């Protein structure tokens, strides 16, 4: 079966209303194939749908749409050149920056292939095949199994499907669950692990406006960069690449955004959404705010340290402002209240229909679980944060877990510690050293401990209490950092290969803390697995009722898999009395340029801009595409499949669209390809790259 053939949750729905398509919906490749071609044509799609995706050959524009380190990107040449966002390749730029060669500030142009800079952990996946495996997964769960057993059985089946899939050369596979288990799809991609930085603009261009303008409109940011994928030491030849549009977009034009949206939560019940608001986003805003201050304060007046923490600080700041936007948008759009009202109407509709009796019970159960989970939600958040917080804590817990998991047979291990993951885990541990500035890391750790020490009775973290609960926690922490060898790269890599007994014998105090924390992390993760098992049983029941009630195609929540969004270039009204037009230009960038960060353009850009009519160089544009995090770097293409821009952000009023789509404010932001061409030509004089970008229609 070359593609997923039964999009069961919506196949029965009629597909004839043209208003269905524009705007809302991150459509899977299979769904796109099932849409009415006439309707797509009316919207502005000039290509046959099979040119978007041909499931038999794994070919089409979607085959040129790659996942690059959790972002999206598109091939733009026959020699593996990939266009994505500056913020997606920022980690590679930071990896290669030093105070005496500060590529973050200066930008980077590889004038020859030899000059390109490898990203140690950067990987690209190219989609090949999608297969519906829902029946196999459901059959794997023993009838009447408890939730934990169900979850384990599903896990085991996924692992065996992935193992069989990865038997083919270069394949990287995953089984993706859609809407909590309504559908499971086995996705096979080609993985390319040799990815090199080719171009990054100076930060003052790639991030113009910084955190002031982030998630905002009007926008003037040149958020693009380029990488090249290699295979067997040679530039990779993609089956497809995007031609660069000769003409740009204008208001009203049809565009498509192709990419890998990461996570949305529209299929959650209102009670589950409220928990996301009250804990996940609220705590994120608080803790990440503290971490940002920790990084800023500890690197003040220290240029080398500022480079070391630059990528971490940038991503924390982005997520922090996103959390603020989610909270503000939920309140402003009354999204949870609307979800609740919608649920009431589904319930009223479903009540007299016996086929949905189970759906109503499932909904009750989901809500009851959401209520119960609130009791430990703060602790759970802190335990989750171990994986993306201070590096010393992350590494120590990973080393202990790795040693424990390695004692098991490969198929019995947690997915993250299976043999296929070990080389990448090791590479990340090595790469992390370039981001480790000990005082900053220690200050982040201190913020985490302070919160853990304030947890309510009933959700205490025992390991924290035992190690930091009495005496001066900051002094204890300082002692841990002074005595541990986990923060030394050479020692850490030795630890990477050690057994539990060897790690214990080291008597390293930070590893000691990790050993104490391990059982609590394990039991939290087991509880999460049990919950996942319950959700996989309940959510599909409820969603079937919601979708049947809706009576039209519903795109599943984002889950990091390839999607298409159909849209139109258009502005919006952010508030009463204000209308935003959908396009900005280089002239606006010059207007914003004050010479003070983050509005401080390089002189070369200012000089080049002053020699032309800057109002004629389009910079950013809006459309009503349905996007989220992970769509960063998504090719934005016109109806002929030609690249007109790259998605890089959403507008402030639209950040909370992760919970629900609101057509009035649903706007994504793309950087216009014409700005990139101007910059490469007039400022960077990067003729080699310009020659490589293929204009459409040649
Ligand atoms: N700027 C966004 C991010 O970094 C891009 C995608 C989005 O969330 O709209 O996550």
Verify that 212 and 336 share a domain, yes or no: no
Q: Per the residue annotation, which of 72, 86, 87, 380 is the catalytic one?
A: 87
Verify that 461 and 531 share a domain, yes or no: yes
Give me the pLDDT at residue 35, please: 86
> Given a cut of 50, is residue 5 above it in pLDDT?
no
Verify that 459 and 605 share a domain, yes or no: no
Taking the centre of ligand 1 as the mean of its atom positions, its distance from the CA of residue 321, in whole angstroms, is: 11
Q: Name the residue with tokens 């200050």.
A: 443
Quick one: average pLDDT of 8-35?
Answer: 64
In a domain, 147, yes or no: no
Q: How many CB atoms lie within 10 A of CB 351?
A: 11
**Residue range 469-515, pLDDT digits in tens:** 999 999 999 999 999 999 999 999 999 999 999 999 999 999 999 99
Are 182 and 539 a contacting pair, CB within 8 Å?
yes
Question: Which atom of ligand 1 is found nearest the CA of 319?
Answer: 10
698 pLDDT band, cuts 50/70/90, is low
Give me the pLDDT at residue 22, please: 62
Please list the helix, strand and coil fractions of the chain in percent, rounded to the nearest 5, in that order: 50, 15, 35
Verify that 431 and 474 share a domain, yes or no: yes
For 20, which DSSP code? G
Q: Per the residue annotation, which of 194, 223, 508, 672 is the catalytic one?
A: 223
**Residue range 602-627, pLDDT digits in tens:** 999 999 999 999 999 999 999 999 99
* Structural domain of 43: 1-123+193-260+563-698
Quick one: average pLDDT of 349-369?
Answer: 98
In a domain, 472, yes or no: yes
**Tally of domains within the chain:** 2
Spatial distance between the Cα atoms of 257 and 239, rounded to a whole number of angstroms: 20
Verify that 230 and 318 share a domain, yes or no: no
In a domain, 557, yes or no: no
Query: If you count them, how many residues does the chain have?
Result: 698
Residue 236 belongs to a domain with what CATH number? 2.40.10.120
Verify that 528 and 597 share a domain, yes or no: no
> Given a cut of 70, is residue 328 above it in pLDDT?
yes
Helices (H) and strands (E) in the chain, counts: 27, 20
208-218 burial, b at 16+ Cβ within 10 Å, e below that, comes to bbbbebbbbbb
116 CB near ligand 1 (under 6 Å): no
Taking the centre of ligand 1 as the mean of its atom positions, its distance from the CA of residue 635, in whole angstroms, is: 14
Give me the pLDDT at residue 695, please: 85
> Based on the number of CB atoms within 10 Å of its own CB, is 278 exposed (0-12), middle (13-18) or buried (19 or more)?
middle
Verify that 521 and 468 share a domain, yes or no: yes
650 CB near ligand 1 (under 6 Å): yes
Alpha-carbon distance values, 379 to 143, 170, 215, 471 (Å): 33, 40, 29, 22
Average pLDDT, whole number, for the chain? 95
**Residue range 41-100, pLDDT digits in tens:** 999 999 999 999 999 999 999 999 999 999 999 999 999 999 999 999 999 999 999 999
Taking the centre of ligand 1 as the mean of its atom positions, its distance from the CA of residue 632, in whole angstroms, is: 5
In a domain, 504, yes or no: yes
Verify that 299 and 250 share a domain, yes or no: no
Give me the pLDDT at residue 4, please: 29
In a domain, 160, yes or no: no
**Residue range 263-287, pLDDT digits in tens:** 999 999 999 999 999 999 999 999 9
378 CB near ligand 1 (under 6 Å): no
Q: Per the residue annotation, which of 77, 632, 634, 670 is the catalytic one?
A: 632
Q: Indicate whether this model's pTM tops 0.85.
A: yes
Give me the pLDDT at residue 1, please: 24
318 CB near ligand 1 (under 6 Å): yes
**Residue range 426-475, pLDDT digits in tens:** 999 999 999 999 999 999 999 999 999 999 999 999 999 999 999 999 99
Quick one: average pLDDT of 544-565?
Answer: 95
13 pLDDT band, cuts 50/70/90, is very low
In a domain, 464, yes or no: yes
Q: Could you give the maximum distance between any two Cα atoms of the chain, in Å?
A: 74
| Residue 108, beta-bridge partner list | 200
Verify that 294 and 431 share a domain, yes or no: yes
**Residue range 158-207, pLDDT digits in tens:** 999 999 999 998 999 999 999 989 999 999 999 999 999 999 999 999 99
In a domain, 487, yes or no: yes
Instruction: Provide the edge-to-edge strand list for the sheet that holds 583-585.
Output: 563-568, 254-259, 635-637, 643-650, 668-672, 618-623, 583-585
In a domain, 360, yes or no: yes
Verify that 325 and 219 share a domain, yes or no: no
Verify that 311 and 199 share a domain, yes or no: no
Verify that 345 and 218 share a domain, yes or no: no
Taking the centre of ligand 1 as the mean of its atom positions, its distance from the CA of residue 143, in whole angstroms, is: 41
3-state secondary structure at position 377: helix
For 681, which DSSP code? I
Instruction: Say whether 632 is catalytic.
Output: yes
């Amino acid at each position: 079966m070359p593609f997923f053939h039964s999009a069961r949750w919506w196949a029965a729905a009629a597909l004839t209303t043209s208003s269905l398509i524009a705007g809302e919906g991150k459509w899977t490749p299979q769904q796109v194939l099932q849409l009415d071609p006439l309707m797509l044509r009316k919207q502005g799609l000039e290509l046959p749908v099979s040119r978007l995706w041909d499931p038999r050959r794994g070919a089409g524009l979607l085959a040129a749409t790659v996942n690059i380190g959790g972002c999206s990107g598109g091939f733009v040449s026959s020699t593996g050149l990939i266009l994505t966002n500056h913020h997606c390749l920022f980690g590679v730029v930071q990896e290669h920056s030093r105070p005496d060669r500060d590529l973050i500030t200066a930008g980077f142009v590889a004038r020859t292939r030899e000059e390109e800079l490898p990203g140690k952990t950067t990987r690209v996946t190219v989609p090949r095949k999608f297969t519906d495996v829902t029946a196999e997964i459901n059959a794997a769960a023993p009838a009447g199994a408890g939730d934990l057993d169900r979850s384990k059985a599903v896990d085991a089946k996924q692992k065996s499907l992935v193992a069989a899939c990865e038997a083919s050369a270069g394949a990287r596979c995953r089984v993706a669950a859609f809407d909590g288990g309504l559908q499971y799809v086995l996705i096979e991609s080609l993985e390319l692990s040799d990815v090199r930085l080719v171009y990054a603009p100076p930060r003052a261009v790639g991030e113009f406006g910084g955190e002031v303008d982030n998630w905002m409109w009007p926008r003037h940011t040149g958020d693009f960069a380029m990488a090249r994928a290699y295979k067997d030491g040679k530039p990779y030849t993609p089956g497809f690449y995007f031609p660069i549009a000769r003409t740009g977009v204008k208001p009203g034009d049809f565009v498509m955004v192709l990419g890998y949206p990461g996570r949305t939560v529209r299929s959650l019940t209102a009670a589950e959404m409220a928990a996301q608001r009250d804990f996940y986003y609220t705590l994120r805003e608080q803790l990440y705010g503290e971490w940002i201050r920790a990084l800023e304060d500890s690197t003040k007046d220290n240029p080398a340290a500022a480079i070391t923490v630059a990528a971490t600080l940038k991503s924390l700041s982005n997520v922090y402002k996103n959390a603020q936007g989610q909270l503000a948008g939920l309140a402003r759009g009354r999204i949870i209240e609307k979800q609740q009202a919608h649920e009431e109407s589904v319930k009223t509709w479903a009540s007299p229909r016996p086929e949905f009796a189970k759906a109503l019970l499932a909904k009750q159960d989901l809500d009851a679980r959401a209520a119960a989970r609130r009791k430990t939600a703060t602790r759970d958040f802190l335990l989750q944060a171990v994986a993306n917080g201070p590096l010393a804590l992350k590494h120590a817990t990973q080393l202990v877990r790795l040693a424990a998991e390695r004692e098991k047979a490969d198929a019995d291990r947690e997915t993250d510690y299976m043999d296929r993951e070990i080389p990448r885990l090791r590479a990340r541990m090595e790469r992390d050293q370039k981001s480790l500035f000990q005082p900053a890391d220690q200050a982040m750790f201190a913020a985490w401990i302070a919160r853990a020490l304030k947890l309510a009775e009933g959700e205490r973290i025992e390991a924290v209490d035992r190690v930091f609960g009495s005496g001066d926690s900051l002094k204890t922490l300082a002692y841990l950092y002074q005595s541990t060898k986990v923060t030394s790269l050479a020692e850490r890599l030795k630890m990477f290969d050690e057994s539990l007994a060897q790690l214990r014998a080291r008597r390293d105090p930070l590893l000691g803390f990790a050993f104490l924390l391990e059982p609590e992390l394990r039991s939290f993760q087991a509880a999460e697995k049990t919950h996942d098992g319950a959700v996989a049983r309940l959510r599909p029941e409820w969603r079937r009722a919601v979708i049947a009630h809706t009576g039209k195609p519903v795109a599943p929540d984002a889950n990091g898999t390839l999607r298409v969004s159909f849209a139109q270039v258009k502005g919006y009204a952010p508030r009463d009395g204000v209308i935003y037009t959908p396009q900005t230009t280089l002239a606006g960038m010059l207007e914003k340029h004050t010479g003070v960060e983050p509005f401080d353009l390089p002189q070369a850009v200012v000089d080049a801009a002053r020699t032309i009519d800057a109002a004629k160089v389009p910079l950013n544009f809006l459309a009503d595409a349905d996007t989220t995090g992970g769509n960063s770097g998504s090719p934005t293409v016109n109806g002929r499949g030609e690249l007109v821009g790259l998605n890089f952000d959403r507008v402030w009023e639209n950040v909370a669209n992760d919970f629900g789509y609101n057509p009035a404010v649903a706007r994504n932001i793309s950087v216009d390809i014409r700005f990139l061409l101007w910059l490469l030509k007039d400022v960077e004089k990067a003729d080699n790259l310009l020659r490589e970008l293929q204009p459409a229609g040649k």
